Chain A
Amino acid sequence: MVAFIAKRLLSAIPTLLAVLTVLFVIIRIVPGDPAIAILGDNATAEAVAALRERLGLDHPLYAQYRDFLLMIAQGDLGSSMATGQPVWDEVRSTLPYTLELTIASILIGIAFGLPIGALAATNRNTIIDYAARIGSLLGLSFPAFYTAILLILAFSIELGWFPVISQGVPLTDVGNRLYNLALPAISQGLIMVGYVARASRSSILEVLGEDYVRTARAKGLDPRVIILRHVMRNALIPIVTVVGLYLGLLIGNSVLTEIVFNRPGIGKLIVEALSQRDYTLLQGLMIVFAFFIVLVNMLTDIAYGLIDPRVRRQ
């Protein structure tokens, strides 16, 4: 198991390096001079030259690339051009909000999606199955910001149960934090419920057709025991894949959810960096995102290994 995990960790390095390279290229294909873009067209030639020097834009591209990788290797994400604050500090203060939102939406997705999928699979081609299939397809068709707007309209404006704008609540105030998290997490979780329900249904259906399930039935085992103990374990792999696969989507959607609910978070920070043309902050945030996604893919791989011993031996 240790060797399996070590191998997975090592295999992430080339991907990460490639992703960082793509980021470096994308951030540098900005048309025109970033220094002029930041300072405006009226800036003096000296000011532009000084900023270029400060940003390292006067170095040749390969030197910039080397410095970029060295900086990341040292755990330095640079500092924001707009505020002068180290990017790390910005990340540290907002990452918990994005993380709690992501984790809460996955939990909602699994808590509702798995039972719906199991119910649909065990009642195949009945009205329950059709309702679950159409319902989950509808759920995952919702644009993230539309769900958020509908929830605000219903629960904040009409019913007044929740604040229209959630604020940054201190980490220690758990009750208030959960209260502020509820609507955003439901909004993101709805899409996840759709994906998890569909994946569970098809993967449970597949396992239900296996010989060993027929044997268990022939032995007269309680159908609930068969589903919970024998089917679920093998049906879990594709479900884990789907959760891993759509984590990227969830992280992308957090941008929208954070904007609509005016929640602090990495996504909202990215959009602010974009609108202020704060390229160093943007670059730092994108590096964090890239690490996060490569990490998620790796954890998904490791999770397969934990669930299915056959994957470990390959």
Chain B
Amino acid sequence: MTEASVSLAAAAAPARRRGAIGTIVAAFNANKTAWLGLAVFLAIALAAALAPWLAPFDPIEQHIADAMTSPNATYWLGTDTFGRDLLSRILWGARISIVIGVASMAAGVIVGSALGLMAGYWGGRIEQLIMRSMDVLLSFPTLIMGLLVVAMLGPSMVNLIVAMALTMVPKFARVARAPTIAIKERDYIEACRALGYSDLRIMFVHILPNVIGDILVLASLWTATAIRIEASLSFIGLGVKPPTATWGGIIREGFDNIMDAPWISLYAGLAVLLTVFALNLLGDGLRDAVDPRLRGE
């Protein structure tokens, strides 16, 4: 299913105004795997939040004597080259991944949907300017944009979030714009105008609720992508600096010792895969709920 057809579908049925919560409820009734995705993601997020209490060891404390121990009763997932407990490092690494994933998604959603609403509602030159700029941003694959920004500005958490948000903004702008163009012609928007509502009020109070379903779908899918890209950048060595535990960084250290300690890469990679898969399941379920052609058949 392409972005455009999802948006068109939403535009075709704006009379049934389902808010964010209505969409989620419908998704879960239509698609049990969405439940699973949400549950797994929330569990991982909870584990990340509780890392200081859940982690059996300090994530950067070195037990040199126990370096590269395979999984056992003390170190459930084994230790790395410095004898640091892998389970603790993966739990702490989840904090970085989830904060960067969610924060960049939030920035992308807010800036992108605002630009898309404005482009769709005002049209004309403003629309041309906004959408052409979005086309340019779209020319950079997420990972390449991340590489460039982080290499130029340095690997801090804020820069990582900015880089990822930059590649997400055009996607949300496109998804918000397409239905806005159709919705702004409807009678109830005409009525709002006649009542003298400001453009901003019409856009954000009266048009946004019709677009929010599509945005939610994209939001969960892009949180997944952001988490994957963050791990990729840390894997290349452009993530948050060591010794801070990041999933990509752990996988890299493990890969450098893959012959002697394959479990390091295996378990850390599994954490990334599980999180990304859970978010994709959630997004997929939401998409089924938002697109009436896929619903309830």
A residues within 8 Å of B by Cβ? 14-15, 18-19, 22, 26-27, 29-31, 125, 133-134, 137-138, 140-146, 149-150, 152-153, 157, 198-199, 202, 206, 238, 241-242, 248-249, 251-253, 255-256, 259-260, 270-271, 274-275, 282, 286, 289-290, 293-294, 297
**Cβ–Cβ contact A252 & B142, under 8 A:** yes
> Of the candidates A15, A142, A157, which one forms a contact with B273 in the assembled complex, judged by CB atoms under 8 Å apart?
A142
**Cβ–Cβ contact B277 & A141, under 8 A:** yes
> Of the candidates A141, A153, A249, A289, which one forms a contact with B262 in the assembled complex, judged by CB atoms under 8 Å apart?
A153
**Cβ–Cβ contact B258 & A141, under 8 A:** no
Beyond the given A140-B280, A145-B251, A157-B258, please list 14 additional residue pairs across the A-B interface where CB-CB is below 8 A: A14-B132, A18-B135, A31-B153, A145-B232, A146-B251, A146-B273, A202-B294, A241-B2, A249-B141, A251-B144, A252-B143, A255-B144, A256-B235, A260-B255
Decide if B81 is an interface residue (CB 8 Å cutoff).
no
Q: How far is the CB of B179 from chain A (nearest CB, A)?
A: 19
**Cβ–Cβ contact A141 & B235, under 8 A:** no
Q: Given A149-B255, A293-B139, verify A141-B144 contact (CB < 8 Å).
A: no
Contacts of A199 in B (CB 8 A): 1-2
CB-nearest residue of chain B to A249: B141
Q: Given A146-B269, A149-B251, verify A270-B232 contact (CB < 8 Å).
A: no
**Cβ–Cβ contact A138 & B277, under 8 A:** yes
A255-B144 Cα distance, complex, nearest whole Å? 9
Contacts of A150 in B (CB 8 A): 266, 269
**Interface majority SS (helix, strand, loop, mixed), chain A:** helix
Contacts of B27 in A (CB 8 A): none
Decide if B147 is an interface residue (CB 8 Å cutoff).
yes
**Cβ–Cβ contact B141 & A293, under 8 A:** yes
Contacts of B272 in A (CB 8 A): 143, 146
Contacts of A252 in B (CB 8 A): 141-144
CB-nearest residue of chain B to A242: B2
Q: How far is the CB of B237 from chain A (nearest CB, A)?
A: 7
A41-B187 Cα distance, complex, nearest whole Å? 66
The number of inter-chain residue pairs (CB within 8 angstroms) is 127
CB-nearest residue of chain B to A30: B152
Interface centre among B153, B238, B276 (most CB of A within 10 A): B276
CB-nearest residue of chain A to B287: A202
**Cβ–Cβ contact B2 & A143, under 8 A:** no
A260-B143 Cα distance, complex, nearest whole Å? 16
CB-nearest residue of chain A to B281: A137
Q: Given A31-B153, A274-B147, verify A141-B255 contact (CB < 8 Å).
A: no
A26-B272 Cα distance, complex, nearest whole Å? 29
**Cβ–Cβ contact A256 & B277, under 8 A:** no
**Cβ–Cβ contact A137 & B284, under 8 A:** yes
Decide if B228 is an interface residue (CB 8 Å cutoff).
yes
A141-B231 Cα distance, complex, nearest whole Å? 13
Q: How far is the CB of B137 from chain A (nearest CB, A)?
A: 8
**Cβ–Cβ contact A15 & B251, under 8 A:** no
Decide if B8 is an interface residue (CB 8 Å cutoff).
no
Contacts of B132 in A (CB 8 A): 14, 18
**Cβ–Cβ contact A19 & B143, under 8 A:** no
Q: How far is the CB of B232 from chain A (nearest CB, A)?
A: 6
**Cβ–Cβ contact A202 & B236, under 8 A:** no
**Cβ–Cβ contact A149 & B265, under 8 A:** yes
A143-B2 Cα distance, complex, nearest whole Å? 22
CB-nearest residue of chain A to B294: A202
Interface residues of B in 235-281 (CB under 8 A from A): 235-238, 251, 255, 258-259, 262, 265-266, 269, 272-273, 276-277, 280-281
> Of the candidates A18, A146, A238, A253, which one forms a contact with B143 in the assembled complex, judged by CB atoms under 8 Å apart?
A253
**Cβ–Cβ contact B151 & A274, under 8 A:** yes
> Of the candidates B2, B137, B152, B269, which one forms a contact with A29 in the assembled complex, judged by CB atoms under 8 Å apart?
B152
> Of the candidates A149, A198, A255, which one forms a contact with B236 in the assembled complex, judged by CB atoms under 8 Å apart?
A255
Q: How far is the CB of B221 from chain A (nearest CB, A)?
A: 10
Q: How far is the CB of A312 from chain B (nearest CB, A)?
A: 19
Q: How far is the CB of A314 from chain B (nearest CB, A)?
A: 15
CB-nearest residue of chain A to B231: A143
Contacts of B144 in A (CB 8 A): 251-252, 255, 270, 286, 289
Q: How far is the CB of A16 from chain B (nearest CB, A)?
A: 9
Interface residues of B in 120-149 (CB under 8 A from A): 132-133, 135-137, 139-144, 147-149
Decide if B224 is an interface residue (CB 8 Å cutoff).
yes
**Cβ–Cβ contact B147 & A27, under 8 A:** no
Q: Given A145-B251, A256-B232, verify A290-B147 contact (CB < 8 Å).
A: no
CB-nearest residue of chain A to B227: A143
A114-B37 Cα distance, complex, nearest whole Å? 26
Contacts of B293 in A (CB 8 A): 206
